[in-house]
Chain A
């Protein structure tokens, strides 16, 4: 295995007094698309929040591109090329599509080349250019997910973290979302996708982790994960 560009070592974290992560280890190589699946409450979202700098871990380390980033705040993490598309998209619903995108490129490094990035993003998502002046809250669910991804791309990330990108979307739209993710990955961006719904993500990510109860319980190729008994048990409610 070549060197990991993102590495989590024994990450433990808590919400208030309740500890929810109990030693999470991830190793992600440059340019990989990695799936993280598991049932509700497994700690997937919390782990992403730790990586993005929204939550400080109790113990453990997060390394990104040779730098230890646990302890940095979210604005510092995004400046280092890590972008999170949060669960539920979290668009600025009262602001226009264009304003959402401009905010995506707010970090100093990204702001210097914001016009170019905007042009590229509009090429990838022509619908967003058509709707640029419209409040983000008036877009359809699929368009909102596209905008959430586009907004994250405005920060020029080299690591894109996606939290439940298929949630609440029709299968055909989910397919479109994953096509876009595939194109982003082919540009050389490393991608980590968290999904509770295993099937679409494991069609597109060659490898992944299965989490449950705040730990990584299995690791392997998409086929292995799909066949893992644990997957069966986790989802059939064992």
Chain B
């Protein structure tokens, strides 16, 4: 029983990161109706930012969030201006298709450049507290994982407040619901698109920092993070930040439960099974309101 509890706890901690990764992807998809399949590569870049800040200058990985987030925000602006922003005038269907193609190309390029620049080795931020654990009764909780969950939750709470309470946030939500009506209200829709894309990228950067400190990074991690994020978005449905976070935690728990009960190979399988099951039985997602 205790082993089970330990596994579930561990899964939930990892799942918080899945949730954070997914919210960035969902924000971009919900507002721009574009699927950025290079989202995982942006997570990878955030991870390297934190790794090098720590390795070269000894910057604490949690402090480096404040660099990785804004840095990836800027990368998001550049990617929007240079690539994705060119698609906004297209029809819904071609917009999704072309954004996926561009994302794949971008993912390959970023992957290759990362190998050239930083080699294909696995890297991890080994802060002084990296190995420490917290004993909660019978449970053992790695400190960095707990920190990751807390940061993920705080980032999403901040995003929630921004979207609900500010004019800029309302403009983003209005654009997601009906961009033409938002345009008629005086909302500069293109600037909102750029903002949403950059925010989604910044969230990827923050997620990457957390991956670097609680797990390991390499140039190859992008695709698997994109897949996790995609599974969580489908699981949750669009329209709810906290729903997405909860779905991430659910996926994490399901993965570690499957790995423990059925064997390690089932860790990856369970996510895909959930993906297909939700698409078949509840296509709007567990917490979504549909498009």
Contacts and interface: CB of A to CB of B under 8 A. Distances in A.
Interface string B153-191: 000000000000001001101100110111111111100
Interface in A90-134: 90-95, 99, 102-104, 106-108, 110-111
Interface residues of B, number: 19
B195 to A, nearest CB: 14
A79 interface: yes
28 contacts: A74-B180, A74-B183, A74-B184, A75-B183, A75-B186, A75-B187, A75-B188, A84-B184, A86-B180, A86-B184, A92-B173, A92-B177, A92-B178, A92-B181, A92-B182, A93-B177, A94-B177, A95-B173, A99-B170, A103-B170, A103-B182, A103-B185, A106-B167, A106-B185, A106-B187, A107-B186, A155-B185, A155-B186
Majority secondary structure of chain B interface residues (helix, strand, loop or mixed): helix
B180 A90 contact: yes
Given A90-B178, A102-B167, A54 B173 contact: no
Contacts of B170: 95, 99, 102-103, 106
A75 B177 contact: no
Contact of A78 (B171, B185, B239): B185
Nearest to A104: B185
Contact of B184 (A54, A93, A94): A54
In this complex, the interface size class of chain A, counting residues with CB under 8 Å from chain B, is 20 to 34
Given A75-B187, A90-B181, 18 more contacts: A54-B184, A74-B183, A86-B184, A90-B178, A90-B180, A92-B182, A94-B173, A94-B177, A95-B174, A95-B177, A99-B170, A102-B167, A102-B170, A103-B185, A104-B185, A106-B185, A107-B185, A111-B167
A175 to B, nearest CB: 26
Contacts of A103: 170-171, 174, 182, 185, 187
B132 interface: no
B289 interface: yes
Interface string B252-264: 0000000000000
Q: Which of B174, B185, B189 counts the most A-chain CB atoms under 10 A from its CB?
A: B185
Q: Which of B178, B182, B184, B187 counts the most A-chain CB atoms under 10 A from its CB?
A: B184
